[in-house]
Structure 1
Amino acid sequence: MASGIRLVRRYPVVALTVAIGLVGAVLALAGAGWLVAWIFTGYALAIAAWQAVGMVRDLLRGHWGLDVLAVTAIIATVVVGEYVAALIVVLMLTGGEALEDYAGRRAKRELDALLARAPQRAHRVVDDHFVDVPIDEVRPGDVLLVRPSEIVPVDGTLRSAETAVDESSITGESLPVEKRAGDDLLSGSVNGHVAVQMTATARAADSQYQQIVALVAEAAASKAPVVRLADRYAVPFTAFSLLLAGVAWWVSGDPVRFAEVLVLATPCPLLIAAPVAFMGGMSRAARNGVIVKGGGVLEQLARARTAVFDKTGTLTHGSPELVAVRPEAGFDADELLALVASAEQYSSHVLAASMIDAATERGLRLSEADAAREAATNGVVARIRGREVVVGKFAFVLEHAPEARRTPIAPGELAVYVAVDGRYAGALLARDRLRDDARETLARLEALGVTHTMMLTGDAQATADHIAAELGIERVRAECLPADKVQEVAAITDRPVIMVGDGVNDAPVLAAADVGIAMGARGATAASESADAVILVDDVSRTAKAVEIGRDTVRIALQSIWLGIVVSVGLMLVAAFGYIPATAGALLQEFVDLAAILAALRAIGGRRDAAAAVAARARVGAAAR
């Protein structure tokens, strides 16, 4: 009920048109047909005058739209006495605009979540105690306290000995970054599990996170609006219709002939077919786990030529997984993994869950520790079944086992070292794995016409190059901050450009791309709000599905438009010779409108998706055999 009231308030002209139509039907049944004619005629002319004002403004700006033909069609139907047809033209005109506005409103909320997450207060050190102050009052040189798991409020340098911070919201790197006294801290990053002090080096407005917010706003504002698909046919269709009607009038000498032709030239197929097709495409996308924020997004997806991807959490899973166990002599792999996982139960490090999961998957039994302590940012020491187990960074393990040695690792891998009872026991390697469907997604995109690919990441160059080589991505830019990503996307010449990413660090570039697609399954709210489309499931292949749906939707919209144009032109030619009276023409035109709408509804695509699902299951079955 409440949502219905909101829609009526938002689209009062559509609601009023429907209401007048219902009142007219009641009056007609009551025998007051003459009153219905006056009401419909007066209302249609009022709407035509209102539309004419906007039409003149558009014409002065050099923009021809369907309003010219719509206003002419309304007036022509009124002149020949087809007041019901006039009201239907009004409903089609205002209804098409309402459909497009409804879709467009969903794309204007991109800053809400980003602003909500921005730090609001900071803990400033004043005379050996802490005072909470608004973040805007922080000045360079202020000493601040950052508690465990808190967001770093402004850019600064670390005063405490060491900590580990999560910079994934800024750089996209999934692993915690170790910081020592004097190292830079970026606002928007998340402190580890120990409270630390920092010295502010910038005001809030000049800090990294707030610059991201500003970049999103600037990028969203700089996007060129997408021209409505139907408007591209407005000038030729309008010119042809008016010319044909004028010639019919001139040859016959009868002004009624002008109205008879224009009754059949009502632009309802153009006004409503494209919005219906795009709403159907959006519905189909949602059914496939992709929320598309407007018909213009589907148009851009259909024409996309370049796809740009973030790495962590997009092409990779975003969480490190165990890839190798390298035990030293005297230990076997399962024994070493079981000891490490048992000790890591008492660690808060991001890798701890990976080790525990790996041990569980192998069916290994974990033991409780008699005692355990975690050395922040370094590792954990635990007594397991009477044995001292040390797990952590190389330098930390070296202190407990002097014969420890580094193990070779590939780009993108991270080593965890182990000592048992003062003896070096080996190392375990973890890596952020590629998504299983990443290669298939890139291949499908290429088949759909997206022939250029690029990867932007905050990771080290060696790691980025390794992932790109595995996937066959053409261009790579590593060690990017959010502003760098925006600049790279802006410099791409093969457009439109799709950008796929997650996390706050991708919000500006998602807003700057022609189509920003956010991986929103794990709650990357800021990215989702900044994007033009949001993938609701943790599946990067839905990027290719979105492009496929965009292409299908535009194709169906064009087919529907051309169906309406061709049939209307054929009927106009017949009417130009006087064979179709105005009343019959108005009725015939409604059938044309209905045919165009039914054709546009094919964009919902239930049968195509069902057939694709059957084919996919068949491929899986064949592979299994």
Structure 2
Amino acid sequence: MKFVVKHEIKGRIRVHFCQKRMTFEEADTLQYYLDSQEMITSSKVQERTQDATICYTGEKSAVIALLRSFQYEKVDVPDVYRQNSGRETNREYWDKLVTKVVVHYGNKLFLPMPIRTVITGVKSVKYIYQGIHTLLQRKIEVPVLDATAIGVSMFRGDISTAGSVMFLLGIGEILEEWTHKKSVDDLARSMSLNISRVWLCNDGQEMLVPTTEIQTGDLVRVHMGNMVPFDGTVAEGEAMVNQASLTGESEPVRKYIESMVYAGTVVEEGELTIRVKETNGSSKFDKIVTMIEESEKLKSGLESKAEHLADRLVPYTLLGTGITYLLTGNITKAISVLMVDFSCALKLAMPIAVLSAIREASNYHVTVKGGRYLEAMAEADTIVFDKTGTLTKAQPTVKQVFAFNGMSENELLRIAACLEEHFPHSMAKAVVQAAIDRHLVHEELHSKVEYIVAHGISSKINDKKVVIGSYHFVFEDEKCAVPDGMMEAFDKLPSECSHLFMAIDHELAAVICIEDPLREEAAAVVRKLKETGISKVVMMTGDSDRTAKAIAARVGVDEYYSEVLPEDKASFVEEEKKAGRKVIMIGDGINDSPALSAADIGIAISDGAEIAREIADITVGADGLNELVTLKLISDGLMKRIHKNYRFIVGFNTGLIVLGVAGILQPATSALLHNTSTLMIGLKSMQDIL
């Protein structure tokens, strides 16, 4: 690749690529290539100027070698990377903004007054029409105020003021639309499908295959807790399906044979075999965008309050204009009041602040499904953590397999992996990975696998019943027993591990000991959350009291509960809410779903089950807990910014009104200062909080 070094300092270099034009796709390809290089710490590609600014570690010669070897056609860029770049959207709205400014000031500098008057008059028709239309609906809202201000200025022949008001309103509309679209697109893409492999049914067998191999008409099985990967009809089975991602329905919908199911929905209960109708899921993105844009979830309580307050203030602004004229008899002073209103700034700044915070959170791999959850996060005082896969690492590992029925450890592990691979849980993934590491290949020998939430798995192999799961499930629910003469070995199982019990024909066959290492950052995150205002941190787990107690002591939680069921977690959350506390629930598994749904804010770790991510209000995509602290800081900062905006808007605009009534400011000056302050507070609200 040909390029020229334009500027360099130690650890940073700016280069210009020698090509006639750089497309958005080429810019994304180059950005992806640079970001994937270990020695490059950060990079920024400007497609308009065909420049790239690169920060690096090591020798400059190595960076030069990377750039020389770069070729667009040799870099395989994932589709999701291009979809999430936002490069084309940013260019579109930046061009709109620049065009608006150039045209406005170009007209003022080069066009004679008669032509400017005609242009301003034509532009004013839109605003005046919107004001009249609002009045005809028997509403006195912001469009009425805008129309009155522009109309009175036109009537008085104050073309400059009318033009300035429309220009600043247009700038505000572009900025709001830009921020809104960027935030909604980022949010929608993060909610879009991310399924790489599915269970294909072929000749009575289930095979795990890449989604790219699926054709229209194929049969795909979707187990409980998993996301439906394609549009299709139910060929076998019955299930309750959560369709909130597409329809906004709060309750799951029953699906049975011949029912239509849609990609992106989640099987909450039961199991379905679907006949694929549509393998292209691109239309789902549009559906999700529409759902988000229409959903009230996108608005926080303070944001909605700002909009309602803005509309309620309009009649008072009009009334103040009339009273000023009656008392002073001075039309100039009266118009000075009309030119200043609180509503414009309130309606512009608040949504931008909220959507910018959502966008900023997405930069830290945190997906927030609505502004109201950031507000609730700022108010929260209680956090409930699930243990496995949340406080502990998402990839627990098998430490040892103890055989109790005479079979080999590998054979028992093979059987366990055969059953566990059907279900999305961190313990199940550990068993499957251990079988892979030992190069244990298996065929599907078992019959239908039944998953009992928070308990275990039941199936049959060669007409023998096989169960695998917790102590409670295997020994108490299934009434299994330890083989004769093996009780001493059973009592000596290592206490530092979590135990997964497997029984065949009601007799213990194996105990799989799983290490569930604590996340290195867990204790620090709990401490930092307390520093941000969280007064109560709780850990809940279905694990034994021995294991839970040890983890709780290391993490530093205020309370812990062991051997709990999903309904116990949800009940605890409800009780805390009844006590007047604002509760955050953090989990990753199917068994966390009821509590995630019950909490004021449900946060799912993205490596967990699809149903947990679907139900949760916030999803953390990074492999760590530090993002929880970042999210809390963003939420707190957002609330501070909103309250600060309120104070500034009320104080500044009140000052303008007083100065206008006193005759110190002319209407044009009041309008300019008011709209400029509105624009500046909007731009300020777009800035990152952290």
TM-score (norm 2): 0.55
Structure 1 partner of 2:329: 253
Counterpart AA for 1:226? S
Residue in structure 1 matching 2:622, options 520, 537, 540: 537
TM-fit CA distance, 1:25: 4.0
Asked if residue 46 in structure 1 is aligned to residue 132 in structure 2, the reply is: no
Structure 1 partner of 2:665: 580
Structure 2 partner of 1:364: none
Structure 2 partner of 1:226: 300
Structure 2 partner of 1:552: 637
TM-fit CA distance, 1:248: 1.9
Asked if residue 317 in structure 1 is aligned to residue 393 in structure 2, the reply is: yes
TM-fit CA distance, 1:550: 1.0
The 3-state SS of whatever aligns with 1:500 is strand
The 3-state SS of whatever aligns with 2:385 is strand
User: Does the C-alpha gap of structure 1 residues 399 and 41 become closer, same or farther in structure 2, counting only changes over 3 Å?
Assistant: farther
Q: Does structure 1 conserve the Cα–Cα contact (< 8 Å) formed by 2:297 and 2:372?
A: no
User: Does the C-alpha gap of structure 1 residues 568 and 33 become closer, same or farther in structure 2, counting only changes over 3 Å?
Assistant: same
Residue in structure 2 matching 1:210, options 235, 254, 267: 267
Structure 2 partner of 1:386: none
Asked if residue 566 in structure 1 is aligned to residue 651 in structure 2, the reply is: yes
The 3-state SS of whatever aligns with 1:436 is coil
Cα shift readout 1:443-486 (whole Å, capped 9, x = no counterpart): 433333343555566x35758964785453547596655x8877
The 3-state SS of whatever aligns with 2:633 is helix
Q: Does structure 2 conserve the Cα–Cα contact (< 8 Å) formed by 1:47 and 1:90?
A: no
TM-score (norm 1): 0.59
**In 2, distance between residues paired with 1:486 and 1:106?**
30
**In 2, distance between residues paired with 1:467 and 1:240?**
62
Structure 1 partner of 2:588: 502
Counterpart AA for 1:277? A
Structure 1 partner of 2:523: 439
Q: Does structure 1 conserve the Cα–Cα contact (< 8 Å) formed by 2:584 and 2:602?
A: yes
**In 1, distance between residues paired with 2:162 and 2:532?**
47
Q: Does structure 2 conserve the Cα–Cα contact (< 8 Å) formed by 1:152 and 1:187?
A: no
TM-fit CA distance, 1:549: 0.9
The 3-state SS of whatever aligns with 1:498 is strand
Cα shift readout 1:358-403 (whole Å, capped 9, x = no counterpart): xxxxxxxxxx99xx998999xxxxxxxxxxxxxxx99999899998
Q: For 1:224-373, what aligned pairs fall within 5 Å after superposition? A: 226-227=300-301, 228=303, 230-231=306-307, 233-234=309-310, 237-238=313-314, 241-265=317-341, 267-321=343-397, 350-351=430-431
Asked if residue 94 in structure 1 is aligned to residue 180 in structure 2, the reply is: no
The 3-state SS of whatever aligns with 2:396 is strand
Cα shift readout 1:18-68 (whole Å, capped 9, x = no counterpart): 8666544444443233333333343234135336646876x77xxx97556
Structure 1 partner of 2:58: none
- More displaced stretch, 68-77 vs 262-271: 68-77
The 3-state SS of whatever aligns with 1:562 is helix
Cα shift readout 1:145-190 (whole Å, capped 9, x = no counterpart): 44579999478xxxxxxxxxxx8869xxxxxxxxxxxxx99999xx
Q: Does structure 2 conserve the Cα–Cα contact (< 8 Å) formed by 1:51 and 1:67?
A: yes
Structure 1 residues not aligned, in runs of 5+:
124-129, 131-143, 156-166, 171-183, 189-201, 327-338, 358-367, 378-392, 418-425, 610-625
Counterpart AA for 1:440? A
Q: Does structure 2 conserve the Cα–Cα contact (< 8 Å) formed by 1:561 and 1:596?
A: no
User: Does the C-alpha gap of structure 1 residues 559 and 76 become closer, same or farther in structure 2, counting only changes over 3 Å?
Assistant: farther
**Highest RCO, 1 vs 2 (Cα 8 Å, sep ≥ 6):** 1
Cα shift readout 1:56-98 (whole Å, capped 9, x = no counterpart): 76x77xxx97556555544455455212222134225534652
**In 1, distance between residues paired with 2:184 and 2:135?**
21
**In 2, distance between residues paired with 1:77 and 1:488?**
61
TM-fit CA distance, 1:287: 4.3
Cα shift readout 1:283-313 (whole Å, capped 9, x = no counterpart): 5434444344554443332223443433321
Structure 2 residues not aligned, in runs of 5+:
1-22, 25-85, 211-218, 228-236, 242-254, 272-287, 403-407, 419-429, 447-473, 503-509
Q: Does structure 2 conserve the Cα–Cα contact (< 8 Å) formed by 1:414 and 1:429?
A: yes
**In 2, distance between residues paired with 1:104 and 1:84?**
31
Counterpart AA for 1:596? I
What count of residue pairs does the alignment treat as equivalent? 491
Cα shift readout 1:550-589 (whole Å, capped 9, x = no counterpart): 1112212321332232122112101112221112222333
User: Does the C-alpha gap of structure 1 residues 446 and 584 become closer, same or farther in structure 2, counting only changes over 3 Å?
Assistant: same
User: Does the C-alpha gap of structure 1 residues 396 and 373 become closer, same or farther in structure 2, counting only changes over 3 Å?
Assistant: farther
User: Does the C-alpha gap of structure 1 residues 397 and 168 become closer, same or farther in structure 2, counting only changes over 3 Å?
Assistant: farther
- More displaced stretch, 398-407 vs 32-41: 398-407
Task: Report the identity percentage.
Answer: 21
User: Does the C-alpha gap of structure 1 residues 223 and 19 become closer, same or farther in structure 2, counting only changes over 3 Å?
Assistant: closer
**In 2, distance between residues paired with 1:75 and 1:120?**
65
Q: Does structure 2 conserve the Cα–Cα contact (< 8 Å) formed by 1:346 and 1:373?
A: no
TM-fit CA distance, 1:252: 0.8
Residue in structure 1 matching 2:113, options 25, 33, 37: 33
Q: Does structure 2 conserve the Cα–Cα contact (< 8 Å) formed by 1:413 and 1:430?
A: yes
**In 1, distance between residues paired with 2:171 and 2:348?**
6
User: Does the C-alpha gap of structure 1 residues 36 and 525 become closer, same or farther in structure 2, counting only changes over 3 Å?
Assistant: farther
User: Does the C-alpha gap of structure 1 residues 90 and 511 become closer, same or farther in structure 2, counting only changes over 3 Å?
Assistant: farther
Q: Does structure 2 conserve the Cα–Cα contact (< 8 Å) formed by 1:320 and 1:430?
A: yes
Q: For 1:413-492, what aligned pairs fall within 5 Å after superposition? A: 413-414=498-499, 429-453=513-537, 459=542, 462=545, 466=549, 469-470=552-553, 471-472=556-557, 474=559, 476=561, 480=565, 492=577
**In 1, distance between residues paired with 2:118 and 2:87?**
29
